Chains A and B, each alone.
Chain A
C-alpha cells in the first residue's frame, strides 16, 4: 500500500469501466445482502437484538479500560500471555519477538484484518519468517500480491477465471481450470502442508470475554482451528475494541454476526479458547493503533462498536459498484470511510464523500452504528480542516460549481433557464460540466414556481 492520497472517484470509474464485471460484483454482493435479509427475518427479536448489542458495545466502550484490565487478569489466570501494542509498528515488533523467542519461522495466519491494517506480512517476511494466509480468499489475494477487497469476502473482486490463472501460475493447476470445487480442493491440499509444518499460528479474534479471559474466533473454513490445534505457538492479534463484558453477551453478538455477514445462523466454527492446549504457548496482543484516539472523538467513537460483519459493504450501492480496492484502506465501505479519516485525514479525505448518504448501511448495521451521520460529520471536518486536506476536498470535482451553491443557482435561475433554452446543447453541456457528461439537464420551464405563484395570486386578488 502506498501513502498516496486516495482518489475514490477515479478508482471507481476505472472499476466501472468493465461493466459486466461491475454488474457481477454488484449482483454477488446483493445476493449476500438478500441472504442476510432472510436470516434476519428468522429472528422476530432482530431489532431488539440490534438495540441490545448496540447498548452493550456502548457500555463496554465507555468502560473500556476497566474491561481490558479485567480481561488481562482473567486471561493471565488461564496461562495466556497478554501483550499491549500502541501502534502497528509495536504490534509487528511484538509478534516478531514472540516468534523469535520460540524459534518459529513458519507462520500460518487465519483471517485477521488487524494484521492487514498493521502490514504485518511484509514486516515478518523481511525478517525471514514465512507467512502463509490460510483463509482461502486471503490466500488467493496473497498469491496475487493484492490486499483483500472485503473484510469477510477477501476475493470477492475476482472471477473464477482469475483464481484459475493465479492457481495455475503459483500452484501448478492445469491452465483453464476454473471449477470452484476443484480449485478449493487444490488449495486444501496446498494449505494442509503448511498447517502441518507450521511452528506458529496467528489468528484474529471476534470477541474477548472480560469476565473469563476467553478468546472467541468465528470461521467457516476451519483454517483458524487447524492452525490453533496444530502449532506449538498461538498468537492472537486483536484490537482493544473487541472486548465484551461477559459470557451472557456472546449469544447476542453471535446471533447477529453470522446472519449479518453471510446469512448463516452461525458460522461453522465458533471456537472459545481459555488457555493454550497442553504443550502450547498462547499469546494475545492487544492493539490500539488509533482506536483510543477514535474513542475520544465525540462524533465518531460509536464506530468502534463495529463487529466486522461486512454487511454495510454488501448493502452499499457505491461499494458494490466500485470494489473494495477503490477505498485504498484495509477496511473499505461505509465503516472504513468513518474509521480511516481518523487515521490519516489527508490521505482518506475523499472517502466520506464516496456515499450518497442513503443510510442503508446504518439500517443494516447489527450494532446500529450511525454510519451516514458519521460520514456527514467527517465531511464537515474535512472541508473545514487545514489547507492540504481542504484542497483535496475541493479538487474532488466541481462540488460547489452547480449543485453545491443553491444561492447562486437561485440568483441566476432565470438566466440559467433562458440559457438552457437558447444555448446549443453542446454549450449547455459544457456549462453544466460534469452533470452533463452522462445526463441531460432538466428542460427549462417557462417560469419558476415562485414567479408563477406571484403572478397567479395577483390575478386572484
Chain B
C-alpha cells in the first residue's frame, strides 16, 4: 500500500469515528423563499453592480461592437500584454460578476496577463443572482470556469485600494443589445433570464 492510501484509510477511519450525530441537510429553498423580490431594470442594476466592482460598462448593438472596441482602445494592439477580448457566458445582476469558461477563452492565461480585459456579454444573458447562475450553468463540464467581478484588486498595503494588483488593471464590459437585423428575426429579443427552474 502506498503512503497516501494508508493515510487515506487512516483519515477516513478517524473521521468516521469522530463524526457527531447526523445533522440533516437543510434545503437551499429555505433561503430563496425569504429573498426580497428584486426591483428595477436588471440591466441598470447589473451595470451599477459591475461599476461598483470597478468595471467600466458600455452598451452597444451587436453589430457595432467591433467599431466600439476599436474606438475605445484606438492605440492598443490585441497582444496578450495589452488588450484581451473575450465572450462572457452570463452576468449576475446581484454582484456584477460575469461567468467565463475555458471553451470561450482562446488562452486562459491571457485573461490574467493582459493589462486590459474586455468582456462581451449579451443583455439577454443576465440572471438575477448566484443561485440562478449556478442553476443554469453546468460548471463541471469544463476544466475551468470563473466568476469575474471587476479588475484585479488589492488592499494589502494599509487597506488602500489599488486596482491592477497582479491581473488586469482595467475591465470593460460591453453589454450587447440586439442589432436591428437580430430583432427582425426575433432571436435575441427574449427578456433577461430570471431564475432557471431546476
Provide the main secondary structure of the chain A interface: helix
- A288 / chain B contacts, CB cutoff of 8 Å: 11, 14-15
Cross-chain contact B25 with A59 (CB below 8 angstroms) = yes
Cross-chain contact A264 with B53 (CB below 8 angstroms) = yes
- A252 / chain B contacts, CB cutoff of 8 Å: 28, 31
Binary CB contact string for chain B from 24 to 57 against chain A (1 if under 8 A, 0 otherwise): 1110101100111000000000000100110000
Instruction: In the complex, identify which listed stretch (A212-220, A330-338, A452-460) lies at the interface while the others stay far away.
Output: A212-220
Cross-chain contact B147 with A225 (CB below 8 angstroms) = no
With A52-B28, A265-B53, A268-B152 already in contact, the answer to whether A136 and B166 are too (CB < 8 A) is yes
Q: Kindly state the separation between the CA atoms of A55 and B52 in the bound complex, as whole angstroms.
A: 31
- A213 / chain B contacts, CB cutoff of 8 Å: 140
Cross-chain contact B150 with A268 (CB below 8 angstroms) = yes
- B167 / chain A contacts, CB cutoff of 8 Å: 221-223, 225-226, 268-269
Which of B15, B135, B150 is in CB contact (< 8 Å) with A248?
B135
Q: Kindly state the separation between the CA atoms of A160 and B25 in the bound complex, as whole angstroms.
A: 46
Q: Kindly state the separation between the CA atoms of A59 and B24 in the bound complex, as whole angstroms.
A: 6
Binary CB contact string for chain B from 67 to 111 against chain A (1 if under 8 A, 0 otherwise): 000000000000000000000000010111100001000001101
Asked if A28 CB lies within 8 Å of chain B CBs, one says yes
Q: Kindly state the separation between the CA atoms of A252 and B49 in the bound complex, as whole angstroms.
A: 19
- A32 / chain B contacts, CB cutoff of 8 Å: 159
Q: Kindly state the separation between the CA atoms of A225 and B145 in the bound complex, as whole angstroms.
A: 11
Asked if A377 CB lies within 8 Å of chain B CBs, one says no
Binary CB contact string for chain A from 17 to 47 against chain B (1 if under 8 A, 0 otherwise): 0000000000010011000000000001100
* Cβ-closest chain B residue relative to A255: B130
* Cβ-closest chain A residue relative to B18: A296
Residue of A48, A264, A292 most packed against chain B (CB within 10 A): A292
- B5 / chain A contacts, CB cutoff of 8 Å: 84
- A268 / chain B contacts, CB cutoff of 8 Å: 53, 148-153, 167
Which of A52, A72, A188 is in CB contact (< 8 Å) with B166?
A188
Would you give the shortest CB distance from B37 to chain A, in whole angstroms?
Answer: 10
With A78-B143, A226-B112, A292-B11 already in contact, the answer to whether A64 and B152 are too (CB < 8 A) is no
Cross-chain contact B109 with A188 (CB below 8 angstroms) = no
A-side interface residues, number (CB < 8 Å):
96
Instruction: In the complex, identify which listed stretch (A176-184, A384-392, A433-441) lies at the interface while the others stay far away.
Output: A176-184
- A401 / chain B contacts, CB cutoff of 8 Å: none
Would you give the shortest CB distance from A91 to chain B, in whole angstroms?
Answer: 10
* Cβ-closest chain A residue relative to B147: A270
Cross-chain contact B14 with A156 (CB below 8 angstroms) = no
Would you give the shortest CB distance from A264 to chain B, in whole angstroms?
Answer: 7
**Chain A 407-448 interface residues, beta-carbon cutoff 8 Å to B:** none
Would you give the shortest CB distance from B101 to chain A, in whole angstroms?
Answer: 9
Instruction: In the complex, identify which listed stretch (A273-281, A344-352, A360-368) lies at the interface while the others stay far away.
Output: A273-281
- A191 / chain B contacts, CB cutoff of 8 Å: 166
Would you give the shortest CB distance from B47 to chain A, in whole angstroms?
Answer: 14
Asked if B65 CB lies within 8 Å of chain A CBs, one says no
Cross-chain contact B30 with A48 (CB below 8 angstroms) = yes
- A313 / chain B contacts, CB cutoff of 8 Å: none
Asked if B164 CB lies within 8 Å of chain A CBs, one says yes
Q: Kindly state the separation between the CA atoms of A212 and B113 in the bound complex, as whole angstroms.
A: 29
Asked if B64 CB lies within 8 Å of chain A CBs, one says no
* Cβ-closest chain A residue relative to B150: A268
Q: Kindly state the separation between the CA atoms of A272 and B146 in the bound complex, as whole angstroms.
A: 6
Provide a sorted-by-A list of 25 A–B residue pairs whose CB atoms are within 8 angstroms.
A51-B26, A59-B25, A63-B19, A64-B15, A68-B11, A84-B7, A86-B10, A90-B3, A137-B156, A158-B158, A160-B158, A180-B158, A222-B166, A223-B165, A225-B111, A245-B25, A251-B130, A254-B147, A264-B149, A265-B52, A268-B150, A274-B139, A277-B108, A277-B144, A292-B14
Known: A222-B165, A226-B113, A268-B148. 10 other contacts (CB 8 A): A69-B12, A74-B140, A78-B143, A86-B7, A183-B157, A188-B166, A220-B154, A223-B167, A296-B14, A301-B20
